[in-house]
Structure 1
Amino acid sequence: MLNKLFISSVLTISTLVFGVNSLVLKPSTAVELLDGQKAFESSFRLIRTATNFSERNNSAARYQFTIEVPQDAGEALKSVKITQKENMDTLVFKADKTLASMGNNLAGANIPLAAVGGESKPGETTIVFDTPIEPGNTVTISVKPKQNPFTGGVYLFGVTAYPTGEDSPGLYLGSGRIHIYD
């Protein structure tokens, strides 16, 4: 009872001090840091990681990473960095074979890419969208390794999302898991 009274008192005082509009949810905007960089306002979700071929040494394999950009992100998604965590074998991604599409798989509308990098640094690739992905959308990125690893096991890939803006800090979404079988 005392807890309910406290919450009610706080709401009443907030309304008197800040006005009724302070209780109404307003559209979010990006967080701007002191140095002018932009950051996301809420966390994205890495909702799926998959491969079409999980046998070792397979040169036809593609890895898909599906990311949900929440409605209240506050900023559009400009780029994604995928980094293989240390393991027995280090992959090399073919930048020219990278694809992106709207939705939970590659069947959605194709998304033009401004740049893809990573062949110079094994185990890592960065995908830059030609037009940033607006909040409220889901995007699937497909990267192609030269071939699956020689050694079977669980391979982890860290996924980091970046907003528009110069040198903006990324938001680490977690690790996607690909199982390679002998």
Structure 2
Amino acid sequence: MKSQFAAIVFSLLSLTLPAQAVQVRGTTYFVSPPRLVGASTTQNHVYAWSATYYFTLEIPDNSGEPLQRVTIAQDDGVDRVRFNLKETEAFDGDRRSRTKLGLGEVTLDEKTKAVTVNFNPPIPAGKRVTIALAPERNPAYGGVYLFGVTAFPTGDPAYGQFLGFGRISIYDNRFDSFFFRPRFRH
């Protein structure tokens, strides 16, 4: 009975009080982490030189902390995608919005090949943000390319919350036209 009462009181308090960051042993956590809404590309064929990969996140109202940085790391795919970090951008809203957000340092971890995008200033709760990464070119091989997305709140140190995989499909028309063309004509 006491645990039910405590749960009801906690639920009521969470409705009336703004979410506060959670700190455990000095590390900052999101109360409610951002959500990976989707990933897409402007060019989905092999060797495309002018592609942009978009990763869209939603930061809930009750996140407890602003979004400080995001890491995007290729997890799967036949070919390694290399990004031109100087062309990285971020937008308020989705990729069609062109309201740019301030970025801090954008780096590449040489060992893991993860791209880290820092926001300056951090993105407040209740916002949707889209990160635009520019590959040097699309991969040489078609297939599904998975990119793990991790979000970090403000704070030092901050715990990175894995949000899931952004999926980018790249098509190779050289093989599609041969293997998938109709064999018989009526």
Name the TM tier (shorter chain). 0.7 to 0.9
CA distance 1:121–1:92, shift in 2 (3 Å): farther
Q: Deviations over 1:93-129 (max 9, x none)?
A: 1110000010022424211111101174574211001
Query: Structure 2: how far apart are the matches of 1:116 and 1:150?
Result: 25
Counterpart mapping for 1:14-53 below 5 A: 23-24=12-13, 25=15, 26-34=17-25, 36-53=26-43
Query: Which of 79, 89, 94 is equivalent to 1:89?
Result: 79
CA distance in 2, matches of 1:137, 1:123: 28
* In 2: Cα distance, 1:71 partner to 1:32 partner: 18
Counterpart residue identity of residue 23, structure 2? E
**Given that residues 94 and 119 in structure 1 are in contact (C-alpha distance below 8 angstroms), is that contact kept between their aligned partners in structure 2?**
no
Amino acid at match of 2:22: V
Task: Name stretches of at least 5 consecutive residues in structure 1 with no aligned partner.
Answer: 1-5
Cα deviation digits, residues 9-56 of structure 1 (max 9, x gap): 944xx5xxx9x898343111000111x111100121111200000010
CA RMSD of aligned residues (A): 2.5
Number of the residue aligned with 2:153: 163
**Percent identity over paired residues:** 40
In structure 1, which of residues 144, 153, 177 is the aligned counterpart of residue 143 of structure 2? 153
- 2-side partners of 1:120 and 1:77: how far apart? 24
CA distance in 2, matches of 1:28, 1:72: 5
What CA deviation, in whole Å up to 9, does each residue of 1:134-181 have, x standing for no partner?
000000000011100000000000000001112311000000000000
Q: Secondary structure at the match of 1:81?
A: strand
Amino acid at match of 1:58: A
Alignment correspondent of 2:180: none
Give the total of aligned pairs. 170
Are residue 116 (structure 1) and residue 106 (structure 2) matched? yes
SS at match of 2:86: helix
Distance 1:165 1:106, change over 3 A: farther
Q: Distance in 2 between matches of 1:86 and 1:21?
A: 41
Distance 2:91 2:85 in 1: 16
Q: Distance in 2 between matches of 1:73 and 1:124?
A: 24
Structure 2 spans left out of the alignment, 5+ residues: 173-186
Q: Of residues 162, 169, 174 in structure 2, which corresponds to 1:179?
A: 169
1:98 maps onto 2:88 in alignment: yes
